């Protein structure tokens, strides 16, 4: 069932958001300061390709006390624009009955796009 969900997810906006995360990650990795943000983008891009069967949990051990300042910088430079993409796909998919579960998934990922630091993917 997860395989079918992941395949449909790719069609319903998962591939586009994964591509957005990948391009953001490449741009952010051009500078030394942006490397932690770029690595976070790559981690989220893999999650966007195959979200079903994975779980996002809060973990303070990942970044420690730096998660708050990193999340603030993230929101300013990347998170806001990626969250708008998730909002767009969520609203677009919520129009149809078949797309409602995928719209809910986009709305969950919109929250993750705002504050990805301090989260771990299982």
pLDDT tens for each residue of 29-85: 999 989 989 998 999 999 999 998 888 888 766 666 788 888 898 898 888 888 998
Specify the pLDDT at position 7. 92
CB 28 within 8 A of CB 44: no
pLDDT, one tens digit per residue, over 3-20 is 998 999 999 889 989 998
pTM, two decimal places: 0.85
CB 40 within 8 A of CB 26: no
Name residues whose C-beta falls within 8 Å of residue 114's C-beta, 6 or more positions apart in sequence: 71, 74, 75, 79, 80, 83
Pairing of the two strands 56-58 and 119-121:
antiparallel
CB 13 within 8 A of CB 95: no
């Amino acid at each position: 069932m997860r395989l079918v969900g992941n395949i449909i997810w790719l069609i319903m906006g998962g591939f586009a958001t994964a591509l957005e995360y990948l391009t953001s990650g490449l741009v952010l990795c051009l500078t030394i300061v942006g490397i932690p943000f770029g690595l976070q983008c790559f981690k989220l891009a893999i999650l966007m390709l195959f979200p079903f069967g994975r779980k996002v949990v809060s973990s303070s051990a990942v970044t420690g006390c730096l998660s708050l300042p990193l999340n603030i910088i993230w929101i300013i430079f990347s998170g806001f624009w990626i969250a708008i993409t998730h909002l767009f796909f969520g609203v677009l998919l919520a129009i149809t009955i078949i797309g409602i579960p995928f719209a809910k998934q986009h709305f969950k990922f919109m929250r993750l796009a705002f504050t990805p630091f301090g989260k771990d993917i299982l």
